[in-house]
Structure 1
Amino acid sequence: MVHCNDENIKWIKQYSLLLIKFLNEYSWLTEAFVLDFFTENHWSKLPLCWSSVLSSIDPQELGDWLSEGNIFYKQVWPLSLQAFRATVCALALTRKPISSPEAVHLFLNKIIPGYPHQKGMTEASKIKWLKTVDELSAAGGQHVNLEHIFRRRVKPKKQHEILRLTQVIDSVLKQIHCDRVIDVGSGQGHLARLLALGYGLQVATVEAEEQHVSGAQKLDDQALSHLKKKEQRPAYSVEEDISNELIDNYKKFAICSHQPPKHLRYCVSASSTQEDLLQVLSDSWPSVKDNLYSDVAHFGLIGLHTCGNLASTMLRLFTETSEAKTLLSVGCCYMKLDITSAGLACGYPLSSCIRNQLGHKLCYEALEVACHAIEKYSKKLKENASSLKIHCYRATLEALINKHHPEKRHYGLRSVNHADRITFTEYVQKALNRINLYIPDKDVNSSWVASCLEQWEHVVVFYSLRLLLAPVIESLVLIDRMLYLYEKGIPSLLVPLFDPELSPRNQVLLAVKVPDPPENQASASLPKHQI
């Protein structure tokens, strides 16, 4: 958990420099595509002392090596390889999810005067994880602490995310005396629905896809219908519905208010401005239009797994919009970030601190690997390593494509399920089925191809080496966002909130604008022309 504020900004900057230096040292790994394994002879790029050990490593041992913690070495490993892993573990942000929200309290305590003893707030108001927050049902792995109206069409992964994130959002908003939130890139509105109907918050969503907007409204209608039927029952049945703190929220807010989210179709892009965000605010709550410079207009900005530049754009809009008081952001799809350093459209780097450092650039290949799930891959190595032959199949096919159709190099091919259960010939037929590329059968069945397929474990090893760097790359992207916020005068916190095996992008970036001192609050509430 990392705080970026006046107290430790020097350390944060030093940390960012270490990340940049280390990634530059291993750019030959981060800038490599595994599908070019045979085309560019990646195995030869490994130091000889590395390849001599890794050429015979057991997949189980490799899986342990990818995981944090101590491992048992079955042979003598070179110190440089052990140092490589140790440095990764030391530099990467921890991915182990927090077991309590104490880090959030410490952060709020530093930036909110009087926390947690503000008016109307007690120690009991602090965030409390539901004791069985991750308790799953035996059938289907559903989260039992989430009522079925909030589980409809929601996968267990998403249930886990919204169940944890809503608790933090609700608590942070209470501490800054704000009950209005805008959810950017809301999709089907699952997070917004729980915030509105489960916690009684005023929620607006912004989504570019009309299909998602209409789908969210339909799910809202179904949830409201369920709640209204529940209202008509003679008594609230504990046996019928889960009895816990979340249900108390349902009884207190949802059943008496029935205020669903307000869904807006709007595309947030690099060209979006503060005025656009305020227009969303006034379109969602018309009463705010004449009170833009008062507490009435305050709102939080949230985004769960906002793709590529959307996360960066959210940060920029947050810093530019005084009415936006808090930000909770979980990014994803880093390879879709604009990595040109030209103005506001840039997705990485955002901060001048990183931008001014030599070697700060991250290529597409590096950002792409940062999106992968190291915990899931480690589990596959331990339990079903042969399923990873797909990497070798794809690299071998890439070499054939490069030979016969070089203009189609790195072309996006059709994914093939359960590739380890079929022959390479069948894989080629299925992968090329939709793009009409022809590879001669004599090449597909050649002895050279057979020799490549025998090296599938080498391909997996090379993939694993790159994957080990993924958390370091992600750390640099996230630290850059914290530094950007700090440069705008806003402290922030990075906290691993989700279980990375369920949700690999598990780091939540939380920022809260420092409240004005009491003597300035009166003038701050006046329209700008009266100040």
Structure 2
Amino acid sequence: MNCIRNSLEDITNFLNPYRVLVDSHMVNFFTHRLWEKHVPLSIRKEAEDVSVDEVLKEFLCFSNKDDSYPEKGSRCVEINKFVKNARSLYLSNFSKCLCLNELQTLMDSWGCTDCNIVLDQFFMSPKKSHEVEVTSSIVASMFKAFDCSHVVDVGGGKGYLSSVLCLEHKLKVLGLDSSSSNTSVATKRTEKMQKAWNGIRRRIENGGLSKRKGKHWKAKFLLNYKSNIEQSYNDKELLKEDSHEKNMELSQEFNVNNSSDNNDNVHIVGNNFKQVTYYVNHNSNLYDIVKDSFPDDCKFNLVLTGLHTCGNLASSCLKLFVDNKDTEQGCARLLVNIGCCYHLLTEKYPGTPSIKQSKIIERTDANNTEESGFPMSSYLCSKKFSLSYNSRVLSSQPIDRISKGNKCPSDALFYRALFEVLLQRHVKDSKENSLYCVGHIKCSTFTEYVYKALKKLDLQLEISEAEIHDILKDYKQYKDKLNVYFMMRVTLAPLIEAIILLDRLLYLYENGIEDAHLVQLFNPVLSPRCYGIIAFRKK
């Protein structure tokens, strides 16, 4: 526990001078003069004295530098120092954060059997396939080793993980989701999958569908994690989201003629896969929910899992795992949780939120009845530690993907900040400007951006093209500073995520869960929310 506390202290101490920077919003870059107010003078002077390409190279290509960098004569000493100190505190450098190979070694010592699987993009997007492959393999392996009886997939959504655990690993799975539409889709999707599963699995094995061809594809997946996906890093298609799958009808998605294999899987899914619409919180009675779904069973040693559980749901899962101790009917024996959507967390000690933050909090927690999701540990609670909404939004910035792409922010970020200047000029109550959520706009010029944004926001403002051209001319020289400011914030983003995850890990230790581990499960370029918490109670 001391190691976790020390890391939290190191991160928060380093972050303190930059809190105004991570608490800010890029929309206000010009209107609030963020460059002059929030960037330390030494970094500001250095960035203004050299080319923007040289500065951004320090942020984008730092991982390729050795410890001897900066070289003699470098003009980016202060910026390099900032980046190096920040990255030294990332979870990837935390001594207690495991990589997959280290987890596999531990799992071998726990007596876990190999339950690895290679999926195909036929079932889901490359990103989702990668996440489900790893998570399902870990859950299935530990399920058998720790004498578990049922898997509870919290926030299971469309049933990606649940269906694979049931169909491939033959586990009893209860999927829980608060959305009835998700529950319905998950059930229908799994019914379609079961009819095609055996045939498609054979075709994957024979290389008929899988893009991961090769005679060694069956090799131990976890131990070969890096080699299996490194080749995929260069495939730009892997960075696409699930859009292609969302546009497919279920009948087309699983249109594989494999009727000869239907009977076995229909039997398996009918008995083992259950889907329930249920809002999970820290007070949920897991045993009653599982009993109702599997009335013929009498022992309930549960695996509590969740693949990208949003906001407070991740915190609730940890609390449920701690509270559901050994009883005659069983216990919550295994936890495999990967959280996301940190901006949806409610805080125990919130500061004074902006108008925009208040509206979002009101919208996401209308009843204001849910227990806070951060902080969880008594250590941070004793400090009444808080994170702003903007900093929690920032924590989701995909720094590895940005570095891999070696790209600066798009023009849209610059256009949005300029648009805020126009709003301040033309909207009477300028304090309300931050309420305007423009979102993504496709455009080729700033003029096009302004008129599309006004139309999207239904604002009847008289803004001439001449005024638009003038403001673009006046502020264009500051675009480089905006890009540097953006990259400074992105460099600090993983520290916010580290605070949240280390706080959760420490909470488990403080509550007597000695076997708790933080693991980097996924490729961070493909799946930016790549860290999971794995904990268990021994038999």
Tell me the TM-score range normalised by the shorter chain.
Answer: 0.7 to 0.9
* 1:324 counterpart residue number: 332
The one-character-per-residue Cα deviations of 1:11-65 (angstroms, maximum 9, x if unpaired) are 2111111112112121121111111100111111323331233234444762552
State the one-letter code of the partner of 2:47: L
Q: Over residues 276-312 of structure 1, what are the superposed CA-to-partner deviations in whole Å (9 max), with x where a residue is unaligned?
A: x222211221124xx4xxxx21110111111111111
Q: Does 1:92 align with 2:84?
A: no
Is it true that 1:498 corresponds to 2:522 in the alignment? Answer: yes
Instruction: Report the CA distance shift for 1:90/1:246 in structure 2 as closer, same or farther (over 3 A).
Output: closer
**Corresponding residue number in structure 2 for 1:367:** 392
Mean Cα deviation higher: 504-513 or 435-444:
435-444
Unaligned 5+ residue runs, structure 2?
Answer: 222-260, 326-330, 351-368
Secondary structure of the residue aligned to 1:301 is: strand
1:354 partnered with 2:380: yes
Does residue 315 (structure 1) correspond to residue 310 (structure 2)? The answer is: no
Q: Where does structure 1 differ by over 6 angstroms across 4 or more consecutive aligned residues? A: 95-99, 228-231
- For residue 261 of structure 1, what is the amino acid of its counterpart? F
- 1:408 equivalent to 2:418? Answer no
Change in Cα spacing, 1:184 to 1:344, as seen in structure 2 (3 Å) is same
1:299 correspondence with 2:299:
no
Pairwise CA distance, 1:73 = 5.5
Distance 1:228 1:88, change over 3 A: closer
Moved more, 220-229 or 429-438: 220-229
Aligned partner of 1:458 in structure 2 is 481
Q: Residue 455 of structure 2: SS of its match in structure 1?
A: coil
Q: Distance in 2 between matches of 1:34 and 1:237?
A: 48
Deviations 1:56-108 (A, max 9, x none): 44447625524434176696346543332222121110189977443254378
Distance 1:281 1:194 in 2: 19
Q: Distance in 1 between matches of 2:481 and 2:435?
A: 23
CA distance in 1, matches of 2:104, 2:484: 38
Give the SS at the match of 1:262. Answer: strand
1:285 maps to 294
Q: Which residue of 1 aligns with 2:226?
A: none
Distance apart, 1:478 and its partner CA: 0.3
* Structure 1 residue 395 corresponds to structure 2 residue 417: yes
What is the match of residue 146 of structure 1?
119
- Residue 507 of structure 2 is matched in structure 1 by 484
The one-letter code of the counterpart of 1:377 is: I
- Could you say which residue in structure 1 is the equivalent of 2:462? 440
Q: TM-score scaled to structure 1, two decimals?
A: 0.78
Q: Work out whether 1:65 is the aligned partner of 2:65.
A: no
2:36 to 44, 49, 70: 44
**Equivalent residue of 2:471, what SS?**
helix
- CA separation in 2, counterparts of 1:58 and 1:188? 44
Q: Is the 8 A contact 1:49 1:78 kept in 2?
A: no
Say whether the 8 Å CA contact 1:35–1:395 is kept in structure 2: yes
Give the match's secondary structure for 1:39: coil
2:127 aligns with 157
Q: Is 1:53 equivalent to 2:23 in the alignment?
A: no
User: Aligned-pair distance for 1:226?
Assistant: 1.7
Task: Give a deviation string over 1:208-237, Cα, whole Å, max 9, x none.
Answer: 112211111111111122247789x9x998
Question: Whole-Å Cα distance in 1 between the matches of residues 54 and 182 of structure 2?
Answer: 42
1:181-231 Cα offsets, whole Å, 9 max, x none, are 011111110111111101111111001112211111111111122247789
Q: 1:273 to 1:314 in 2, by over 3 A?
A: same
Q: Which residue of 1 aligns with 2:361?
A: none
Would you say how many aligned residue pairs link Structure 1 and Structure 2? 457
| Equivalent AA in structure 2 for residue 452 of structure 1 | Y
TM-score by length of 2: 0.77
Distance 1:42 1:388, change over 3 A: same
- Aligned pair in 2 of structure 1 residues 485, 100: CA closer, same or farther (>3 Å)? closer
Equivalent residue, structure 2, for 1:334: 342
Question: Which residue number corresponds to residue 354 of structure 2?
Answer: none
SS for the counterpart of 1:410 is helix
Partner amino acid, structure 2, of 1:184: V
> Which residue in the other structure is 2:453 paired with?
431
Q: Measure, in 1, the Cα distance between the counterparts of 2:375 and 2:508.
A: 12
Alpha-carbon deviation of 1:448?
Answer: 3.4
- RMSD (Å), alpha carbons: 3.3
Aligned partners of 1:247 and 1:195: how far apart in 2? 18
Provide the C-alpha distance between the structure 1 equivalents of 2:15 and 2:169, rounded to a whole number of angstroms: 43
Distance across 2 between alignment mates of 1:164 and 1:362? 31
The correspondence of residues 10-29 of structure 1 with structure 2, limited to 5 A, is 10-29=2-21
Identity fraction in percent: 27
> SS at the partner of 1:258?
helix
Assess if the C-alpha contact under 8 Å between 1:31 and 1:363 holds in 2.
yes
The 8 Å contact of residues 180 and 298 in structure 1, kept in 2 or not, is answered as yes
